[in-house]
Amino acid sequence: MYYSAGTYESFAHPEKPEGVDKKSAYIIGTGLAGLTAAFYLVRDGQMKGEHIHLLEKLELAGGSCDGRKDVTKGFFMRGGREMDNHFEVMWDMFRDVPSLETPGVSVLDEYYWLNKHDPNYSLCRATVHQGEDAHTVKKFGLDKASAMALSKLFITPEKELEGKKISEVLPDSFWDTNFWLYWQTMFAFQRWSSALEMKRYLCRYVHHIDGLPDFSALRFTKLNQYESLILPLVKYLESHGVRIEYGMDVKNVVIETVGEKKIARQIIYVRDGQQQTIDLIEDDLVFITNGCCTDSSCYGDQTHAPDLSALENGRGESWDMWKAIAAQATHGEFGHPDAFCSDIEATNWMSATVATSNEEIIRRIMDICQRDPRAGKVTTGGIVTVKDSTDNWYLSWTINRQPQFKAQDKNLVLVWLYALNTNKPGNYVQKPMRECTGEEVCREWLYHIGVPEDRIDVLAADACNTTTCFMPYINAFFQPRRNEDRPHVVPDGSVNFAFLGQFTETPRDTIFTIEYSMRTGMEAVYTLLNVDRGVPEVWGSKYDVRELLRACYYAIDKKPITDVKLGFMEHELLRIVLKKVKGTDVEILLRDSGLIE
């Protein structure tokens, strides 16, 4: 497997890999990583669909990209996905997956047209005082110490950041900046999150720094990601003869080490209460989704808080399986799951879905986001953060294009909200979110959008239906880690197995994105089948001097560098540099970026 850039490789179709007709594939998990692996086995690996077996414990494919309607409790959305125009693997795949909405076009075509006609951007990024615009005015507000620390983090080698928290590399003044407000709520980072992962995010999305304050960098699907992405992909695979076997609770993959070779020999699973096995030969390829951020999710509804009584640090179906596999390693080459799943208090947050068609509430929403959610277009344009809840629930909420579900009534509006702090009392509801019923969660949200207090309780009870979800491991992949804690997609010596998903290591890309999961699926297939076509490299904006200069301009809130407060020696050095570059291409680049006038 090798990386490539440009259209030469991306437009090419690879030759059929040698020996593929005698191979079979077993894919554990039907999240986007597993489904992507199946896609590349079919399209580029040219494996027969009937040789590909997707093993799924649940009755629904999609993994964490779910969205569903429970006829007794209402709509559930555990989370949404933010997408980027440089998700190279994602668009390489979806250009060949037919849309279920628009006959004759691909999912990519449909998505591209939608976001061209209805571009995403926010008109209110944060609120204070029960629904008033916080007027962050697209500024980052970085002081000199914070700006210098971020710059240092950007260029620090990953090896030096292993095991470190963000709080160990950034100054105390950073936590009060708009930059941190934007960053933390958009990506769900915490002060104790991995400095290494924050560096990757800075490098990966430096080309989008200007779109961070108002979300103009983002794009979204028409419906929830299950209906817009998962279902078309499942239909594509089924049309090629691929089978999804539901009710398959995989407990372990037995791996034999023979000298330098590592060979998957058996899959152990439970189905219908009975433990069974699948014996493997070297021509049987196994793709393992190790770890899951939504493992052990606990659901609540309008009148019930989620039941957390069974939660236990480090336990969960995906973690138990990964631990069983990791225990077979000779030198830790299958990763260290305990680095991610051993502290639920550090890795949890909670989401909720509010369904309402109440005009009084919708008017409050329109006052904040300045758009009608029933228009079928971009509404909030991303999350609206309740700035004065940072010491309480730290609440944010969003309304994507409506309807979000095909089964949704045209007058019904679905609001998704989430809280980074689940163990602190709310501003209005004086109890932690994790202890609240859906109705109580709704009360807190109604309070923050400006509903009069004498109307909150009755509207939460009678005009809304709220479902909730506590996710103990949702931030597990942000835990401070070392390089060896995540196994390589294809570990050294592996003959016939690979790891997939958010807890597998692939260089330069960022976890908590659907692109990361899909990239691991493509890399796994290309490596095990030796597909002779390049995997598109992670977009290289961190190597583009134009993007770096633009980032500097926006980071100092769109001021010329000559207007920045500098010490005497710094000012003199800048004067000398500007004199040296006068009349050169460097001067043109500085002028084009806005750093000089």
Cα–Cα distance between 215 and 123 in angstroms, integer? 10
Give burial (CB, 10 Å; 0-12/13-18/19+) of 28. Answer: buried
Cα–Cα distance between 584 and 420 in angstroms, integer? 48
Q: Which residues contact 551 (CB under 8 A, 6 or more apart)?
A: 206, 207, 209
Cα dist from 243 to 33, 41, 237, whole Å: 16, 13, 8
CA angle 119, 120, 121 (to 5 degrees): 125
Nearest to 177 by CA among 208, 149, 215, 206: 149
Residue among 82, 435, 537, 587 flagged as catalytic? 82
Residue among 112, 121, 201, 246 flagged as catalytic? 201
Give burial (CB, 10 Å; 0-12/13-18/19+) of 477. Answer: buried
Contact 175, 459 (CB under 8 A): no
Cα–Cα distance between 84 and 221 in angstroms, integer? 11
Count, in order, helices (H) and strands (E) of the chain: 19, 20
Contact 278, 266 (CB under 8 A): yes
Q: Where are the beta strands (DSSP E) in 420-475?
A: 464-471
Nearest to 345 by CA among 438, 434, 283, 410: 434
Give burial (CB, 10 Å; 0-12/13-18/19+) of 422. Answer: buried
CA angle 305, 348, 229 (to 5 degrees): 90
Q: Which residues contact 27 (CB under 8 A, 6 or more apart)?
A: 34, 37, 38, 52, 53, 54, 55, 286, 287, 289, 500
Cα–Cα distance between 239 and 264 in angstroms, integer? 29
Strands 52-56, 24-28: parallel, antiparallel or unpaired by DSSP? parallel
| Alpha helices, DSSP H, located in 129-222 | 144-155, 178-187, 195-204
H or E segment and range at residue 264: strand 261-271
Give burial (CB, 10 Å; 0-12/13-18/19+) of 65. Answer: buried
* β-bridge partners, 301: 304
Contacts 24+ apart (CB under 8 A), 261-270: 261/493, 261/495, 262/333, 262/491, 262/493, 262/494, 262/495, 262/497, 263/495, 263/496, 263/497, 264/495, 264/496, 264/497, 267/26, 267/28, 267/55, 269/55
Cα–Cα distance between 181 and 386 in angstroms, integer? 10
Amino acid at the residue 248: M
Cα dist from 476 to 120, 165, 194, whole Å: 29, 13, 10
82 is annotated as an active-site residue = yes
Residues with catalytic roles: 82, 201
